[in-house]
Amino acid sequence: MTKTDITPCLWFDGNAEEAARFHCSLFPNSKVTTPASPTPAGQQPPVVVTWQIDGQKMMGINGGPNYSLSPSFSLAVIVEDQAEVDRLWNALTADGGSESMCGWCEDRFGVSWQIVPKRLNELMGDPDPARAQRVTQAMLKMKKLIVADLEAAHAG
């Protein structure tokens, strides 16, 4: 059996290339693969734009206003620490992005993201159900996830 190449494809209304460049600016080892240079001002944007976010292939289609992105599809990013949560959250919610609940936010292009510290999964995976439940309840009340508050809930 051969490996299947699965690439998320997002629908945009003319700004796929701008979104791709923004996403690549947030993560190391990221690049726009096609088009390789910005579309000249006054020209129609390319129909298809591809990029890689730290090796993960992405595709954007400038399909027009018929469809829009929604939180029913999100990009989950598991990060090391609170500093990385803060950096990504602030960048994604700036300039027209928005906050949602439980570590979810939306960037200014309408792409939904989950910014999740590794520590959340560790705490929620505690074999003590009471501790794990306290962490879950704390997380459900948060917008941006705060590791110190999750650890405090875990401790009781």
Q: Inform me whether the pLDDT recorded for 62 exceeds 80.
A: yes
CATH of 69-156, one of 3.10.180.10, 1.10.287.90, 3.40.50.1970, 3.40.50.300: 3.10.180.10
> What pLDDT, on a 0 to 100 scale, did the predictor assign at position 3?
81
pTM here is: 0.92
Across all residues in the chain, what is the average pLDDT?
Answer: 95
pLDDT in tens, 16-45: 999 999 999 999 999 999 987 777 777 888
Q: Residue 55: which region, alpha, beta or left (left: phi > 0; alpha: psi -120 to 50)?
A: left
Give 62's DSSP letter: E
Question: Please, are residues 99 and 142 in contact by the beta-carbon 8 Å criterion?
Answer: no
Report pLDDT digits (tens) over 64-106.
999 999 999 999 999 999 999 999 999 999 999 999 999 999 9
For the chain, the domains span 7-67, 69-156
Is the pLDDT confidence value at 122 over 90? Answer: yes
Distance, CA of 41 to chain centre: 28
Task: State the Cα–Cα distance between residues 61 and 76, nearest whole angstrom.
Answer: 20
CATH topology agreement for domains 7-67 and 69-156: yes
CA atoms in the 13 A half-sphere facing the CB of 154: 18
| 148 pLDDT above the threshold of 90 | yes
Topology (CATH) of 7-67: 2,3-Dihydroxybiphenyl 1,2-Dioxygenase; domain 1 (3.10.180)
Q: Cα(151)–Cα(156) distance, rounded to whole angstroms? A: 9
What percent of the chain lies above the pLDDT cut of 70?
Answer: 100
